[in-house]
Amino acid sequence: MFLGPALPSNWSDDSSVEDYCRSTVTTFWHYHGGCLVGKVVDGDFRVMGINSLRVVDGSTFTISPGTNPQATLMMLGRYLGLKMLRERRESQCRFLPVQGSYVL
Ligand SMILES: Cc1cc2nc3c(=O)[nH]c(=O)nc-3n(C[C@H](O)[C@H](O)[C@H](O)COP(=O)(O)OP(=O)(O)OC[C@H]3O[C@@H](n4cnc5c(N)ncnc54)[C@H](O)[C@@H]3O)c2cc1C
């Protein structure tokens, strides 16, 4: 038994086939959307209202990328990780006496 919209009655009508695909095609394997940016985490992936907690994973995606998501997720993790390290170094440098230049 299939639960969901009925198959398009006219398979020659591209727009109704397109509508059918958009409303039914999904995946079991690419979970996303549980911790949306702007709703659960802010633009820096910090959990809103909680100090020192970030969520950086597929749950922050509003939509699943139109392909396997693993590479996108790894890039997101690396991007955020490097950004956090840079910010941490910058905030530590503010408290150090100035002795030449710092390599960040
Ligand atoms: C069968 C299958 C096949 C797939 N094949 C592919 C593929 O070929 N290519 C591809 O790109 N993607 C594939 N995917 C999708 C991909 O694996 C996921 O989209 C991706 O791993 C999600 O990454 P994530 O970091 O969001 O979450 P996850 O990889 O699920 O990592 C979440 C981690 O958080 C941990 N965790 C959960 N709750 C807590 C907690 N409370 N405290 C501490 N830790 C916690 C979990 O143990 C887990 O290690 C596949 C998925 C499945 C299920």
User: What pTM does this model have?
Assistant: 0.73
Q: Look up 30 and say whether it is catalytic.
A: yes
Residue 47 structure tokens: 């959990």
Residues 6-51 have pLDDT tens digits of 889 999 999 999 999 888 877 778 888 999 999 999 999 999 999 9
Residue 31 has a pLDDT of 85
More confident residue, 78 or 95: 78
pLDDT exceeds cutoff 90 at 101: no
16 lines ligand 1 (CB under 6 A): no
Q: What is the pLDDT of residue 5?
A: 82
| Six token digits for residue 90 | 């910058």
Cα of 61 from ligand 1 centre, angstroms? 13
